[in-house]
Structure 1
């Protein structure tokens, strides 16, 4: 198969991640003090804790056992988890165990998927296909919302089993597809010494003979046979220990870790996943329930469109440029959205007529500003974080470094899920937008200081 096809198959796991994670979070608009909502929060936290654990472990195991086996393990975890969750109406405990399994699969998917794509696809198209992870993630979330609307007329038990039953089928199909993909050529070169097989895979990925020979020569230079043999003798724990020492004890690599962790944390703390969504649903709910549903769908459509735009531009414009432009535009839209809404909330802005603010003007302004925030996020932090984190490490530390970044991503995701809806309800949309502006201003300074465009350590 062509490398582009293999990259798409590898990125399909993000569809399952988006689809699966969305179902538990479809109760955001519920009363935060209601028991079902508290159970939703607990399930999300359970899944995220499991994903933190699996992400930390996946880096070392991917270096020891290879990338391909993790796709099979991920499929098995998603299959088992969704089977259990389809019977979650029996008891909350069964549902919680199902979320543990899918949480483990999420950590593996987010860690190994982008790394595998970065190692397989030629440099000229690597950004496009690695950012496909964000495209599939948004597609999965949108599919979950659409399916939820389709089965909403059914009984709760039937709708629940239908939703997770489809996830079971998708897990089987995606796992069957990944069985046909080859192992990462870089892992074959560095860990197994299978030069002939690695060369064949590299040649099939539309790399020229000169590029293939260059990659193989660089891998031979980087390979420390004595160190690799020692790691293989002592097992996966030795691999994890050696990689951890490199990540945190060597200043140049430690700076790379800081940049990757910072991008992942700022990506989740942008408030796009929970804070803005909760406030948007609340804002449109005052008009009608139809507006509320359309707002949920509209958010995901906008994110999907702009993630596609980012994928098409990143290889031409560069990673750091896209990050700075995306975060800068996001800051501008947050100020444009936050200050007027805060003024309306506190009656600082008086309507020209005594009848109050024109509803159409307020809704149009809100939608325009929100679309700008979401689009800027996808152009910058939303898509580029996956690319940057999978490319910036040298080979021997790539999987382990990416796994640590994903673990911090899940920790930040849990923090956002627990705190941002309440913060948004307390500050209302205007105040929440200004808080997000402060965070994104810090992210802009962080990117300017810690990220680089011309990477000294590249995939090849």
Structure 2
């Protein structure tokens, strides 16, 4: 938007700005920040196998198993809610350090736990760290990225979650021959390694230029923008856009982050309400899809299908993890070319079909004695298709969308609220998945999840506008109606 409040015709990008190649410095910063997301991915992957040994070693009931797995997701709700305010006060950079440090402490508690209560305590601490990392990694990446590569860079947290899941599967497979008294402890302790890497990597990371503008540290913000732009002129333009947006929407409040919750929940404007519905909706459906639960309990699904050897179960996990990692990379590479909406709709509709097929295949395997090989193959293919479509659509795009649609003043705390819903739904689904499947069967559960994804596809079609190529400062206009837009232009003209 120029000084007269007129939106540029090329999607929110200044007419003088050219489409440029990927900025190496911005890429390095995004990779360092997104490394935090390995923590959640590794936990999802490794716990799917480790819980088999923990259950044997600590003699857990199925309810204790559900609580153990789901507690991390529920407790990550705490970190998600606190992360918005924390990052507005301390900055995005030091919130990343806090996330890694908290998860590191949790990993040590889990790996060294002498009993179930200590193991649960470790899950609680690690969960808080995960909550912080899930919010801060995409927000930091979105704020430091140029508009034309923001989709790719902001999807890197999901890429690293998927890499973490695959690492967890590989570790499960590699340690399956070790004594069950020790192997699950080694699996959980290894989670401390990426936490240390993040803590060290943040030393060379710059602060978010948009947070620096909020703190009126304009010279520091410009230095960061110069490094993430193709020229000094582009950096100057970006700084001007960020500063004007902050002066218009947020600078009247001297205490950064104050009054945001009231503005988000109690007295939202119509555009803010639409942004909040879109952000919460996509985070809700990301976890209501059952993706995390399917990954956590996949060995249980295939044990019910007649595959009982742990090494074979872990091998299936590795195959699925490889498919998931491949698809998330494809999605990340094409997000800025094809846009968010097409990939999101493709992914959610594909998941609906895959879960329907998985439900049908599971129904054929419910017979106690006769379990046809073709039905097992269909289930394996359907699971791989389900997680692959998730990695094309909901997986990366949820983080991209959540971090880019809120205006600067509301971004950290708005994103933290949306991610909190994400964590709450993930915890509820993970902690009830086995209980519900005992009532409905695995086939029935997958039919329900397929129906959820049909509803999700309809929601995305009507509620999610395309944000490809737009500056963060211009995306809010997509959620304005004509009257709101006209009022905003009149204010600018005055």
User: Shorter chain as normaliser: what TM range?
Assistant: 0.7 to 0.9
Worse-matched range after superposition: 278-287 or 202-211: 278-287
* Structure 2 equivalent of residue 88 of structure 1: 113
* Structure 1 equivalent of residue 278 of structure 2: 259
Q: CA RMSD in A?
A: 3.0
Q: Say if 2:365 and 2:372, in contact at 8 Å, map to a contact too.
A: no
1:103 pairs with 2:121: no
- Identify the match of residue 332 of structure 2 among 302, 311, 326: 311
Residue 224 of structure 1 and its aligned partner are, at CA, apart by 4.0
1:236-290 Cα distance to aligned partner (Å, 9 max, x none): 7xx2533442455222111111111111111111122224725642255447544
1:136 pairs with 2:164: no
* Structure 2 equivalent of residue 270 of structure 1: 289
Q: Say if 2:30 and 2:141, in contact at 8 Å, map to a contact too.
A: yes
Q: Say if 1:284 and 1:295, in contact at 8 Å, map to a contact too.
A: no
When normalised by structure 2's length, the TM-score is: 0.81
Worse-matched range after superposition: 268-277 or 173-182: 268-277
1:432 pairs with 2:445: yes
Gaps of 5+ in 1: 347-355
- Identify the match of residue 177 of structure 1 among 191, 201, 210: 201
Residue 147 of structure 1 and its aligned partner are, at CA, apart by 1.6
Matches within 5 A, 1:81-230: 81-89=106-114, 91-190=115-214, 192-224=215-247, 228=251, 230=253
- Identify the match of residue 41 of structure 1 among 66, 73, 87: 66
* Structure 1 equivalent of residue 492 of structure 2: none
Residue 18 of structure 1 and its aligned partner are, at CA, apart by 1.6
When normalised by structure 1's length, the TM-score is: 0.87
Rounded Cα–Cα distance in structure 2 between residues aligned with 1:54 and 1:230: 25
* Structure 2 equivalent of residue 350 of structure 1: none
Residue 176 of structure 1 and its aligned partner are, at CA, apart by 0.3
Residue 136 of structure 1 and its aligned partner are, at CA, apart by 1.0
Tell me the number of residue pairs that the alignment of Structure 1 and Structure 2 aligns: 445
Q: Say if 2:74 and 2:428, in contact at 8 Å, map to a contact too.
A: no
| Local SS of the residue matching 2:204 | coil
1:403 pairs with 2:416: yes
Worse-matched range after superposition: 11-20 or 32-41: 32-41
1:15-43 Cα distance to aligned partner (Å, 9 max, x none): 12222344444356688996254433333
Gaps of 5+ in 2: 1-23, 474-494
* Structure 2 equivalent of residue 381 of structure 1: 394
Q: Say if 1:120 and 1:205, in contact at 8 Å, map to a contact too.
A: yes
Rounded Cα–Cα distance in structure 2 between residues aligned with 1:300 and 1:424: 23
